[in-house]
């Protein structure tokens, strides 16, 4: 039997807490809701690293930040790192990428057969952090409070332009696949930039919500704010420039509107799969690269292992997938082995270049018990000078950084993470066990030296590239207009029937 197609639809910076699918009373996500209503919703899914490029690289490779050196948003993703696209190709799939993946470096395919749009962000080393000056704000390309202050409706933005292109290109390519004669199963990744800041939405989506009714972030005592969150608040100018409650409401309004916009793009893709007769033979997976604090703890954006930043939506639907809410802790590291299970249907996987660091979620998605209830996370980018590590096991989450006091939370009893159990005598043994596990799993000093060396090298290379003849690594999609639509070297009588779907017998 032919394995099913796989369609992965990604949002950017979408926390599950701010979707109707995961219980938010205001946010409208009807298409994601419908996907979950006929599929499996994973209720404790995490990114491995809460920043765009590291989150995506580790997801694609099925390996951790330290394993592949995916430190930050200006880290090169080496062409020698096998990805899920490579492995699915070995399993007989053709693959297509549309939209954002934040590849840094000259390889802009990483195993995909085709990439039908360019990226929205640069592919060079310009965004390299500097841990030797970790307390200095990064200007020019770094988040600040302008995006909170300027939230509101607009006819278009560069992000809307981009996602409109990605959505159209995706649907057009799915139609092309339906019209061609290639009978291989396909893997299609459609990756959108919304609801990533700036929090500006088209009026169609903005008008779904009433600013005055938007919920504000839950309050927190200043003493409960951890050092890393304070560093983020300083770095994004929340401590200096600040924002008002009205501005926070408008920013959340824009985020909710853009979440509904992303949900509409998801619905259009599902409609195209339905129209082309592929819906019953396609596993659809919806997720995001990471979340958005959206004002929780006084912080915005990501870069944190707190729930709003590190949790992601993860919904499966399609053949063999059961309707269930899966409580087990998991992460993007688990996606590659999951896709290999889908592609091979119980047969041996292709030979792996390196051991994977996740487990397959396909048994849980298809109704079997999952004995594993844990994952890990690593962060080595801006707003810190030392690597940060996270262990989530069962109901507990432990966060470690050499410069900061440890954090230990009971996520079931304290979902807002307001009570740090690490300092309480009754939890001393648990905190000590987690601390010992961190010391055994990670060599923080060695990782820090690798990060510093990488940053220094990339700063020098960026300066050299800026001083010389400009060379762009940004992806340039092919556009073969000479053979598009109808041309005089083609037989018009053949082109029309061939490009019609369904074809006339």
DSSP assignment of 89-154 equals: HHTT-EEEEEE-----SS---TT-SEE-S--SS--SSTT---GGGTTSPP-SSS--THHHHT-EE-
Q: Which residues have a Cβ under 8 Å from the Cβ of 491 and sit 6 or more positions away?
A: none
Are 380 and 451 within 8 A, CB to CB? yes
Among the listed residues 161, 165, 155, 168, the one whose alpha carbon sits nearest the alpha carbon of residue 206? 155
CA distance 406 to 388: 10
CA dihedral of 102, 264, 325, 37, whole degrees rounded to 10? -150
Residue 35 backbone phi and psi in degrees, to 5: -65, -45
Residue 139 pLDDT: 67
User: CATH says 5-387+442-478 is which class?
Assistant: alpha beta
Catalytic residue, candidates 102, 194, 196, 253? 102
Domain ranges of the chain: 5-387+442-478
Give the global pTM: 0.96
Q: Measure the CA–CA gap between 73 and 93, rounded to whole angstroms.
A: 29
Q: What number of other Cβ atoms are within 10 A of residue 459's Cβ?
A: 17
State how beta strands 40-46 and 200-201 pair.
unpaired
Is the preceding peptide bond at 93 cis, omega within 30 degrees of 0?
Answer: no
pLDDT in the model for residue 140 = 66
Instruction: Give the closest residue to 11 by CA, choosing from 67, 44, 55, 49.
Output: 55
Find the catalytic residue in 47, 52, 189, 401: 52
- For tokens 């409401």, the residue is 249
Q: Check if 52 is active-site.
A: yes
102 labelled catalytic: yes
Alpha carbon distance 446, 434 (integer Å) = 20
The single residue listed with the structure tokens 């409650």 is: 245
Q: Is the peptide bond before 200 cis (omega within 30 degrees of 0)?
A: no
Q: Given strand 388-393, what is the order of strands in its sheet?
A: 374-379, 388-393, 396-401, 407-410
pLDDT in tens, the chain (505 residues): 789 999 999 999 999 999 999 999 999 999 999 999 999 999 999 999 999 999 999 999 999 999 999 999 999 999 999 999 999 999 999 999 999 999 999 999 999 999 999 999 999 999 999 999 887 777 666 788 999 999 999 999 999 999 999 999 999 999 999 999 899 999 999 999 999 999 999 999 999 999 999 999 999 999 899 999 999 999 999 999 999 999 999 999 999 999 999 999 999 999 999 999 999 999 999 999 999 999 999 999 999 999 999 999 999 999 999 999 999 999 999 999 999 999 999 899 999 999 999 999 999 999 999 999 999 999 999 999 999 999 999 999 999 999 999 999 999 999 999 999 998 999 999 999 999 999 999 999 999 999 999 999 999 999 999 898 888 999 999 888 888 888 888 887 888 888 888 887 7
Determine the Cα–Cα distance for residues 400 and 239; give it in Å rounded to an integer. Answer: 24
- Give the relative orientation of helices 30-37 and 245-275 as an angle to the nearest 10 degrees: 60
User: What gap in Å lies between CA 95 and CA 239, rounded to an integer?
Assistant: 45
How far apart CA 246 and CA 252 sit, in angstroms, is 10
Q: How far apart are CA 312 and CA 306, in angstroms?
A: 12
Q: Which residues of 244-257 are buried (b: 16+ CB within 10 A; e: fewer)?
A: eeebbbbbbbbbbb
pLDDT of 487: 86
Q: What angle do CA 278, 280, 285 make, to 5 degrees?
A: 85
Q: Does an H or E element contain 87, and which?
A: helix 84-90
**Tokens describing residue 240:** 């200096």
Alpha carbons 30 and 20: distance in angstroms, whole number: 8
C-alpha torsion 281→283→286→290, nearest 10: -150
Give the containing element (helix H, strand E) for 94.
strand 94-99
């Amino acid at each position: 039997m032919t394995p099913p197609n796989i369609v992965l639809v990604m949002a950017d910076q979408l926390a599950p807490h701010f979707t109707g699918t995961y219980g938010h009373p205001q946010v409208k996500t009807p298409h994601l809701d419908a996907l979950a209503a006929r599929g499996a919703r994973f209720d404790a899914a995490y990114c491995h690293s809460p920043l765009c490029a590291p989150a995506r690289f580790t997801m694609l490779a099925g390996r951790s930040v330290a394993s592949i050196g995916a430190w930050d948003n200006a880290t090169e993703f080496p062409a020698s790192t096998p990805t899920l696209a490579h492995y699915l190709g070995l399993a007989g799939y053709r693959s297509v990428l549309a939209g954002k993946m934040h590849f840094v470096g000259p390889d802009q395919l990483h195993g995909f057969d085709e990439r039908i749009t360019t990226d929205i962000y640069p592919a060079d080393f310009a965004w390299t952090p500097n841990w030797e000056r970790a307390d200095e704000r990064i200007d020019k390309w770094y988040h600040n409070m302008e995006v909170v202050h300027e939230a509101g409706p607009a006819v278009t933005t560069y992000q809307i332009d981009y996602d409109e292109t990605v959505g159209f290109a995706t649907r057009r390519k799915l139609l092309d696949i339906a019209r061609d004669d290639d009978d291989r199963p396909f893997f299609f990744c459609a990756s959108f930039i919304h609801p990533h800041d700036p929090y500006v939405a088209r009026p169609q989506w903005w008008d779904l919500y009433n600013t005055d009714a938007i919920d504000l972030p839950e309050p927190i005592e200043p003493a409960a704010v951890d050092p890393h969150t304070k560093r983020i608040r300083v770095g994004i100018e929340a401590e200096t420039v600040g924002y008002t409650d009205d501005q926070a409401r408008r920013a959340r309004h824009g985020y909710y509107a853009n979440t509904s916009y992303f949900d509409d793009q998801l619905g259009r893709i599902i409609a195209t799969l339905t129209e082309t007769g592929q819906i019953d033979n396609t596993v659809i997976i919806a997720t995001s690269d990471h979340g958005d604090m959206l004002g929780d703890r006084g912080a915005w954006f990501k870069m944190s292992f707190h729930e709003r930043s590190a949790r992601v939506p993860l919904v499966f639907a399609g053949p063999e997938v059961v309707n269930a809410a899966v409580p087990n802790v998991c992460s993007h590291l688990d996606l590659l082995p999951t896709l290999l299970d889908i592609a091979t249907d119980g047969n041996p996987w292709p030979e792996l270049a390196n051991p994977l660091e996740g487990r397959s979620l396909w048994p849980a998605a298809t109704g079997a018990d999952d004995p594993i209830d844990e994952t890990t996370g690593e962060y080595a980018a801006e707003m810190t000078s030392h690597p940060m590590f996270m262990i989530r096991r069962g109901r507990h989450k432990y966060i470690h950084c050499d410069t900061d006091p440890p954090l230990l939370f009971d996520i079931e009893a304290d979902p807002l993470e307001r009570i740090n159990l690490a300092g309480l005598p009754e939890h001393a043994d648990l905190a000590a066990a987690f601390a010992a596990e961190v010391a055994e799993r990670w060599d923080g000093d060695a990782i820090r030296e690798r990060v510093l060396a990488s940053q220094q090298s990339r700063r020098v290379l960026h300066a050299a590239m800026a001083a010389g003849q400009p060379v762009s690594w940004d992806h340039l999609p092919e556009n073969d207009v000479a053979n598009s639509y109808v041309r005089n070297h083609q037989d018009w009588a053949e082109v029309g029937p061939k490009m019609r779907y369904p074809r006339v017998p």
